[in-house]
């Protein structure tokens, strides 16, 4: 076995030198660096970006929002509540330990103890190692989301972490937050938090077919957007994200750089609180407000085209996306609806928005407030930094609150679970439903969709939910925030970026 593997490695090296472009160094800049090296400490974009460099998931999303096998070579559904993953053989961790089913089971159990990840894994009741390369997952009921969830399983090196310390610590130092052993294409060579992380290519990487030729990758966090853009334009870095809307054109037009954009999946909404403001409890008033807000205009003028106008939560490509729902903007109709509802003279409402959370967040709110003024809804707008905004959001401190949401599971039901189901502190459903919108049918359909394994039926359920929300104007959908990456010409970033915003840098090719 071992000789075979050595032979394979040797072959890969020989092939590598003839086929692949020469090894390259990638300097890249994000707006922040990962909080921790522990992939289970915080569920955030930064953590997942790091996980895809240092670890490998069982399976991962591809550009068509479909699944590609990674450490799981194949999978099969045994029955409604059981799924079996067959692991790839001959994969080793950075420490040299071989990766087995034991490691995968251990990782899943650890995920179930992480405050951030346990929610995603709630329906996985057990994970067992059937043999060295087979893992069996049991769910508490029929589950259509086993594969979605498996994209979050990045097998960790059990022996390595058990020796050093496997504890997940939110605050304070831990072994796992400073040391890492995964199977991924990169090894963390050096890390100075907030200053830089240096990655070196894993010489024993199992995926010999990966076209990636980045030998060293250096991540520098650059917080200020203009500085980040300047670093790219001056050639100090090869690749940046995110790109602020104001600089899109500049990067696109520069001869040495290119811009890669993609429709995102983060929906930006305004939630209308039916409990705080009685006018907002009237569906006609909510509809009038939806008609009064020109979200197309917001995307064009404020987002500079850097967004996709939305009429629902689910972006295209999600099962729940209902193609019949189109953006509405008609001030006359809005006024008529206000009259019908008995609010011809309008009413007053308070509104709160963050000013550093979403792209142009406070400008969007200012525009929305001005548009609502046209139908005599007088908005008292307060904006604040996100650190102060979230406690206010939890208090439901205003009649209208802004919320952006990206479904961690890349699935439509997630939107409903958190944003539109009736708030219930016991089940945690509707945790971000600040509007207090409640519709029994929406609740039922969403719950049903969580155990529906028939894809067509499930799509029908979730699309029906979107339709109800649309007809009742449960909230005001504005747009999906687009994603953008800027890169030096020759850095083939377009081949490895995706809508989840975790570029597969292991596969990145730099041409010279």
Partner 1 sequence: MHIIAFLIRRAIQAVIVMFVISIIGFSIQDNLGDPLRELVGQSVSEQEREALRDNLGLNDPFFVQYTRFLGNALQGDLGTSYFFKRPALSVILDKFPATFELVLGAVFIFVSLSIPAGIYCAINRESWLARIIMTGSIVGISVPVFLTAIAMVWLFGVELGWLPAFGRGDTYELPWGWDTGFLTWDGITHLILPSVTLSSIMLPLFIRLIRAEMMEAMGTDYVRFARAKGLPTRRVRYVHAFRNTLLPVVTVGGLMIGTLIAYTILTETVFQWPGMGFLFLEAVNRVDTPLIIAYIIIVGLIFVVVNTIVDFVYTLINPMVKLPGAKG
Q: Which residues bind partner 1 (CB under 8 A)?
A: 35-36, 42-44, 115-116, 119-120, 169-174, 177, 193-195, 220-224, 226-227, 230-231, 233-236, 356, 385-391, 394, 405, 408, 418, 425, 428, 431-432
> Looking at beta carbons only, is 62 or 356 nearer to partner 1?
356
- Measured from the CB of residue 173, what is the shortest distance to partner 1 in angstroms? 5
d(CA 379, CA 390) in angstroms, rounded, equals: 20
DSSP annotation string for 113-177: T-TTTTTTTTTEEEEEEEETTEEEEEESS--TTHHHHHTT-----HHHHHHH-----SSS--HHH
Tokens of 235: 């050639």
- Measured from the CB of residue 227, what is the shortest distance to partner 1 in angstroms? 5
> Looking at beta carbons only, is 395 or 454 nearer to partner 1?
395
- Measured from the CB of residue 278, what is the shortest distance to partner 1 in angstroms? 26
> Looking at beta carbons only, is 96 or 428 nearer to partner 1?
428
φ and ψ of 52, to 5 deg? -75, -10
Strand (E) or helix (H) holding 380 = strand 377-384
Other C-beta atoms within 10 Å of 345: how many? 8
φ and ψ of 41, to 5 deg? -80, -45
> Looking at beta carbons only, is 418 or 437 nearer to partner 1?
418
> Looking at beta carbons only, is 60 or 266 nearer to partner 1?
266
- Measured from the CB of residue 9, what is the shortest distance to partner 1 in angstroms? 34
**What does the angle CA 378 – CA 382 – CA 385 come to, to the nearest 5 degrees?**
155
Question: Distances from the Cα of 105 to the Cαs of 5, 138, 155, in angstroms?
Answer: 25, 12, 8
d(CA 154, CA 40) in angstroms, rounded, equals: 9
> Looking at beta carbons only, is 119 or 142 nearer to partner 1?
119
CA of residue 293 relative to chain centroid, distance: 27
- Measured from the CB of residue 383, what is the shortest distance to partner 1 in angstroms? 14
- Measured from the CB of residue 131, what is the shortest distance to partner 1 in angstroms? 34
> Looking at beta carbons only, is 169 or 350 nearer to partner 1?
169
- Measured from the CB of residue 63, what is the shortest distance to partner 1 in angstroms? 25
- Measured from the CB of residue 235, what is the shortest distance to partner 1 in angstroms? 7
Give the contacts of 3 (CB within 8 A, at least 6 positions apart): none
> Looking at beta carbons only, is 86 or 196 nearer to partner 1?
196
- Measured from the CB of residue 267, what is the shortest distance to partner 1 in angstroms? 13
**What does the angle CA 165 – CA 123 – CA 44 come to, to the nearest 5 degrees?**
55
> Looking at beta carbons only, is 232 or 334 nearer to partner 1?
232
Tokens of 393: 């959001």
- Measured from the CB of residue 404, what is the shortest distance to partner 1 in angstroms? 10
> Looking at beta carbons only, is 266 or 458 nearer to partner 1?
266
The answer to whether the beta carbons of residues 101 and 127 sit under 8 Å apart is: no
Question: Distances from the Cα of 114 to the Cαs of 38, 100, 152, 170, 175, in angstroms?
Answer: 11, 22, 12, 9, 15
d(CA 30, CA 224) in angstroms, rounded, equals: 10
CA of residue 386 relative to chain centroid, distance: 18
> Looking at beta carbons only, is 55 or 205 nearer to partner 1?
55
- Measured from the CB of residue 38, what is the shortest distance to partner 1 in angstroms? 10
- Measured from the CB of residue 172, what is the shortest distance to partner 1 in angstroms? 6
Question: Distances from the Cα of 284 to the Cαs of 122, 277, 327, 373, in angstroms?
Answer: 38, 14, 17, 17
d(CA 77, CA 80) in angstroms, rounded, equals: 7
Pairing between β-strand 307-309 and β-strand 67-69 as defined by DSSP bridges: unpaired
Report which of 354, 364, 268, 363 is spatially closest to residue 312, judged by C-alpha positions.
Answer: 268
> Looking at beta carbons only, is 403 or 509 nearer to partner 1?
403
- Measured from the CB of residue 170, what is the shortest distance to partner 1 in angstroms? 5
The answer to whether the beta carbons of residues 280 and 274 sit under 8 Å apart is: yes
**Helical spans, DSSP H, in 278-436:** 283-292, 295-297, 331-340, 361-373, 386-395, 412-415
> Looking at beta carbons only, is 113 or 471 nearer to partner 1?
113
DSSP 94: T
């Amino acid at each position: 076995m071992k000789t075979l593997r050595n032979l394979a490695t040797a072959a890969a090296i020989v092939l590598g030198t003839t086929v692949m472009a020469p090894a390259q160094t990638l300097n890249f800049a994000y707006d922040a660096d990962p909080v921790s090296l522990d992939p289970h400490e915080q569920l955030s974009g930064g953590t997942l970006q790091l996980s895809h460099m240092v670890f490998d998931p069982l399976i991962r999303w591809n550009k068509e929002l479909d699944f590609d096998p990674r450490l799981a070579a194949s999978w099969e559904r045994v029955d409604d509540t059981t799924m079996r993953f067959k692991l790839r053989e001959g994969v080793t961790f950075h420490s040299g330990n071989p990766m087995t089913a034991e490691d995968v089971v251990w990782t899943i159990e650890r995920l179930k103890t992480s405050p951030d990840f346990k929610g995603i894994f709630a329906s996985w009741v057990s994970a067992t190692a059937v043999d060295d390369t087979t893992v069996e997952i049991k769910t508490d009921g029929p589950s259509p989301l086993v594969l979605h969830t498996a994209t979050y399983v990045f097998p960790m090196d059990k022996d390595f972490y058990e020796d050093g310390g496997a504890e997940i610590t939110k605050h304070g130092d831990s072994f796992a937050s400073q040391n890492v052993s995964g199977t991924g294409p990169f090894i963390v060579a050096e890390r100075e938090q907030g200053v830089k992380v240096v990655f070196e290519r894993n010489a024993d990487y199992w995926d010999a077919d990966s076209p990636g030729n980045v030998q060293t990758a250096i991540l520098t966090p650059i917080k200020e957007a203009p500085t980040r853009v300047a670093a790219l334009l001056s050639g100090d870095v090869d690749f940046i994200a995110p790109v602020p809307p104001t600089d899109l054109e500049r990067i696109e037009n520069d001869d040495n750089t290119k811009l890669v954009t993609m429709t995102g999946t983060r929906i930006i909404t305004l939630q209308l609180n039916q409990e705080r403001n009685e006018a907002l409890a009237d569906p006609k008033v909510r509809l009038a407000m939806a008609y009064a807000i020109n979200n197309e205009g917001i995307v064009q003028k404020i987002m500079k085209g850097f967004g996709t106008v939305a009429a629902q939560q689910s972006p295209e490509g999600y099962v729940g996306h209902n193609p019949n729902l189109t953006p509405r903007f008609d001030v006359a109709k809005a006024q008529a609806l206000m009259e019908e509802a008995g609010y011809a003279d309008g009413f007053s409402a308070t509104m709160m928005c963050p000013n550093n959370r979403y792209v142009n967040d406070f400008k969007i709110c200012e525009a929305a407030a001005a548009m609502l003024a046209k139908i005599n809804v007088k908005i008292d707008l307060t904006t604040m930094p996100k650190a102060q905004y979230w406690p206010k959001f939890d208090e439901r401190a205003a009649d209208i609150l802004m919320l952006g949401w990206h479904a961690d599971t890349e699935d439509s039901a997630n939107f409903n679970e958190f944003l539109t189901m009736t708030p219930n502190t016991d089940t945690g459903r509707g945790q971000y439903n600040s509007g207090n919108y409640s519709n029994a049918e929406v609740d039922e359909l969403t719950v049903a969709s969580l155990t529906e394994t028939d894809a067509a039926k499930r799509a029908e359920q979730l699309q029906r939910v979107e339709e109800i929300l649309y007809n009742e104007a449960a909230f005001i959908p504005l747009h999906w925030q687009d994603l953008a990456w800027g890169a030096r010409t020759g850095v083939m970033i377009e081949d490895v970026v995706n809508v989840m915003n975790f570029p597969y840098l292991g596969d990145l090719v730099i041409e010279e």
